[in-house]
């Protein structure tokens, strides 16, 4: 299967389920930026339940701005805040410490562009999971692409994927939370996450 996805910030489990079940992934990079999507946000399971981590970006006065031109806002140290939130959420998970060093470049490198950051998160997580796939990027935007179109998964409200429950740190307190950032699955299941992803229904 050749699938079309948006590169997002520490993508959702649904994104990585598509990656795990595809032979080739084409990433859409010719789109216009839309607010309130997972392009610059992820959801984690915090000690207080569902938590949104949002990356601040610079907005231009233009009506439309290509996502690949979106720059990160550097006046606010969002990287420090995000890592502290991840520590609070997952320090007691089975695999946080195992993968912590692999993830640190995300929170130390100062990217200029959102897309570069997102691709780095995908590259690092893919290595942690042991996922291998052929990767390409779009050169033009098509309303009706030739690939299997999973671009709607970028919008959490349109992503209706339901996945099998797995153990989560705070599930006794708040129950199972479905389709969080891939980090939730990675920290709780480790390398078993790849088998899980391959077995989920899309």
Determine contact, residues 78/55, Cβ cutoff 8 Å: yes
How many Cα atoms are found within 13 Å in the side-chain-facing hemisphere of 43? Answer: 16
What is the C-alpha to C-alpha distance for residues 90 and 10, in angstroms, rounded to an integer?
15
According to the model, what pLDDT value does residue 64 have? Answer: 83
Mean predicted lDDT score pLDDT of the chain: 95
* Residue span of the structural domain in which 156 resides: 2-198
Q: How many domains does the chain have?
A: 1
The tens digit of pLDDT for each residue in 132-176 reads 888 899 999 999 999 999 999 999 888 899 999 999 999 999 999
pLDDT confidence tier of residue 198, bands split at 50, 70 and 90: very high
Q: What confidence score (pLDDT) does residue 75 get?
A: 86
φ and ψ at 24, to 5 degrees? -140, 140
Average pLDDT value for residue range 88-92: 97
Confidence at residue 121, expressed as pLDDT on a 0 to 100 scale: 97
CB 116: neighbour CB atoms within 10 A?
Answer: 13
């Amino acid at each position: 299967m050749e699938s079309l996805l948006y590169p997002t910030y520490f993508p959702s489990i649904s994104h990585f389920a598509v990656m795990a079940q595809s032979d080739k992934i084409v990433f859409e990079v010719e789109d216009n930026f839309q607010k309130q999507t997972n392009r610059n946000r992820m959801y984690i399971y915090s000690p207080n339940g569902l938590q949104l981590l949002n990356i601040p970006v610079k907005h231009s006065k233009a009506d439309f701005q290509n996502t690949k031109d979106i720059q990160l806002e550097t006046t606010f140290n969002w990287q420090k805040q995000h890592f502290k939130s991840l520590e609070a959420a997952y320090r007691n998970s089975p695999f946080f410490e195992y993968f912590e060093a692999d993830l640190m470049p995300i929170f130390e490198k100062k990217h200029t562009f959102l897309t570069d950051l997102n691709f780095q998160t995908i590259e690092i997580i893919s290595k942690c999971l042991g996922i291998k796939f052929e990767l390409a990027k779009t050169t033009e935007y098509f309303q009706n692409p030739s690939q299997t179109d999973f671009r709607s998964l970028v919008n959490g409200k349109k992503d209706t994927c339901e996945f099998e429950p797995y153990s989560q740190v705070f599930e006794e307190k708040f129950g199972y939370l479905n389709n969080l950032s891939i980090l939730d699955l990675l920290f709780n299941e480790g390398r078993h996450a790849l088998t899980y992803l391959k077995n989920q229904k899309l």
